[in-house]
Chain A
Amino acid sequence: MLVLESIKLAFSAIRINKMRSFLTMLGIIIGISSVIAITSIGSSIQSVVDKQFASIGSTYMYVYPDWYMLDDGVVSQSDLFSEDEIRGLKEAYPEMIDYAVPYGYSSSDSRVGRTQASFSLMGVGDGYDVVSNMHITYGRMINENDVKSQKPRIVIDETAAQRLFGKTNAVGESLPLTIDGVANDYTVVGIYYVEPSIFTPVSTDNQFSAYIPYSLIPSMVHSCSNIEIYYASGYDAKTAGDTICRYLERVKDKEEGFYTYDSVEQQQGMMNEILGTISLAIGAIAAISLLVGGIGIMNIMLVSVTERTREIGTRKALGARTGDILFQFLIESMIISAIGGIIGTLLGLGTAAVGMKLVGVDFAVNPLVILLAVGFSAVVGMFFGIYPARKAAGLDPIEALRYE
């Protein structure tokens, strides 16, 4: 094999027909750049989504009455859960259930000095920080005692602490809130930190999320329709959800299927499926453009073989073997395609990097993808170069020399 010579020849042939070579590469450039851009954007989004789910806690689910199973679509008191029933559920499956509390949510405006703020308030129970991987930077999280004694305690995030109290460590400060019409001064017992992501709202208008004992939201807790649950990590969502629902139906004397659940695991699975489908669809389009690019290469190589018929004849007369000619043209189409692949990769990475910068997501390059893209384009070039190269190599020297 005349590897080095063939590579040199290929480059000089490409240089001689710069514009034509570039246009030929265009198909490959478009194909590869879209593949690279899509996979890069896809994996960047994937990592953001994964992080988001992880911040909720991957074993989170909530259980509620299936609205389709209700008579006339009206919830009656007996369908709902009491605190005792929820405690009973947790005690029935201590291995499987790490955390189970009535779902409680409220909101309140607040004012500290001259600073106005509004809070979304999540009612939580003991150990919420552990199951949801919260990052407590000062003080502590709401505990069992806070829930039982119904003391006005609150855990706020660092930004809220900074805005309202002028310091991140605001433990011990007090915050006036009104929940279910009851005004109270809440004592800050802990500060948490969340890493900002594209899903975190930019709080220019002083809107914050905070945690209080669920027992302080009586309107929701006493007629609780949703139970928040974290199951142990050894279980999957289906096993845990089905066991819990069947247990509740037994205890509350309902027919099977009356209670149902939603889980992070299912949501994540669905999200991955959607992302996967989108990637696949765009990947298929990219594959088609690679195919078209490959056909373009084949076409131009056939033109090139025809143009260079006399040259091929001369080379054969001077002692080139069939294999030498075959290799020369194969290398040429491979190099055209691989250059297209390299340009396409750079273009795709650039597009993805700019796009991710605009939406503020960290962009990571996977070197394997680059290698794969360039390698794959070379393979495309080789595959579509086989026919023209064989045609060149198979030329009869006399006929090639006589060609006008």
Chain B
Amino acid sequence: MNEIIRLEQLKKTYRSGAIQVEALKGIDLTVNQGEYVAIMGASGSGKSTLMNILGCLDRPTGGRYYLGGHDISCQSDSQLSRIRNRMIGFVFQSFNLIPRTSALKNVELPMIYARIPPRERSRRAAALLEKVGLGDRLEHMPNEVSGGQKQRIAIARALANRPPIILADEPTGNLDSRSSVEIMELFSGLNRKEGNTVIIVTHEPDIAQFTDRIITFRDGAIISDRKVDRDHPPAASKVAAAAAGREGV
């Protein structure tokens, strides 16, 4: 399989005054094209820090990050913008939809920055909203839809420029279990049917159970990296049961 992400001794140190925080202490990691990965770990273990670097929103303070074979650390700001625009779809815990802007316009946003012409833009945005099940909410404002629907708009937006990689930092963190399952099914579909590489940060083992590979962090380092064993799910849970039930159908 083609590797799409490779990290070599990746470090991130935050400096605030005299205090230094080593958020990432030399991460070695390879993710192949089409993988479905969950990142877990205690609060403050460095998951978000890693995601921000993977999403080219932040730069590492040490080590190397190769994205699609290119070294990211030596890219200019405008090249990074371009990578964020074309290569990566980011989904946030707090949705980050542009307020007072319709679902359609929100989804169009990445296409605007990709200089896609207006007609094509709104056609594609409408199709994407249709795909995430919001075909009847095109003109709704973010404050007029539920949390789960907001996250679906955000996912449609992340998919706008057909990026190969989807990064989601606690995408179900603000959602109830029912909406969480729906969102995870969307991600699973993207990974299985469209071949997207999907990396998800989560605190909930049930959510991680949707993926194929679980990487666990502690204190800025990877402490475990294992394949998901679908036949023997860990302690029974409603979410997993619900998901398993659906898959069984």
Contact = CB atoms under 8 A, between A and B. Distances in A.
A320 B81 contact: yes
A401 B77 contact: no
B114 interface: yes
B84 interface: yes
Contact of B78 (A5, A311, A318, A322): A322
B66 interface: no
Nearest to A318: B110
Contacts of B77: 321-322
Interface stretch (B91-99, B214-222, B224-232, B235-243): B91-99
Interface in A302-332: 310-311, 313-324
Nearest to A13: B100
B52 A319 contact: no
A401 B55 CA distance: 13
Contacts of B114: 319
Interface in A352-404: 397-398, 401
B81 A401 contact: no
A310 B96 contact: yes
Given A311-B98, A398-B58, A401-B96, A318 B113 contact: yes
A16 B113 CA distance: 23
Contact of A317 (B82, B90, B101): B90
Interface residues of A, number: 21
B64 interface: no
A320 B115 CA distance: 11
Nearest to A401: B96
Contacts of B213: none
A311 B96 CA distance: 7
A16 B55 contact: no
Nearest to B157: A318
B86 interface: yes
Interface in B65-118: 77-78, 81-82, 84-86, 90, 92, 96-101, 109-110, 112-115
Main secondary structure of the interface of A (DSSP, over half): helix
User: Interface range on chain B: under 10, 10 to 19, 20 to 34, or 35 or more?
Assistant: 20 to 34
Contact of B57 (A5, A323, A398): A398
A183 interface: no
A317 B96 CA distance: 10
A321 B81 contact: yes
Contacts of B78: 321-323
Interface string A1-45: 010010000001000100000000000000000000000000000
Contacts of B113: 2, 315, 318-321, 324
B84 A318 contact: yes
B100 A319 contact: no
Contacts of A311: 98-99
A322 B76 CA distance: 11
B100 A16 contact: yes
B90 A397 contact: no
A398 B78 CA distance: 16
Contact of B96 (A314, A322, A324): A314
Interface string A165-182: 000000000000000000
A322 B110 CA distance: 14
B69 to A, nearest CB: 20
A2 B112 contact: yes
A20 to B, nearest CB: 14
B142 to A, nearest CB: 11
B109 to A, nearest CB: 5
B112 A5 contact: yes
A314 B85 CA distance: 12
Interface in B48-68: 52, 55, 57-58
Contacts of B97: 314
Contacts of A324: 113
A201 B113 CA distance: 69
Nearest to B81: A321
**Highest count of chain B CB atoms <10 Å: which of A313, A315, A316, A317:** A317
A314 B101 CA distance: 13
B110 A319 contact: yes
Interface in B105-156: 109-110, 112-115
A398 B57 CA distance: 6
10 contacts: A5-B112, A310-B96, A315-B98, A316-B81, A317-B96, A318-B90, A318-B109, A318-B157, A320-B81, A321-B82
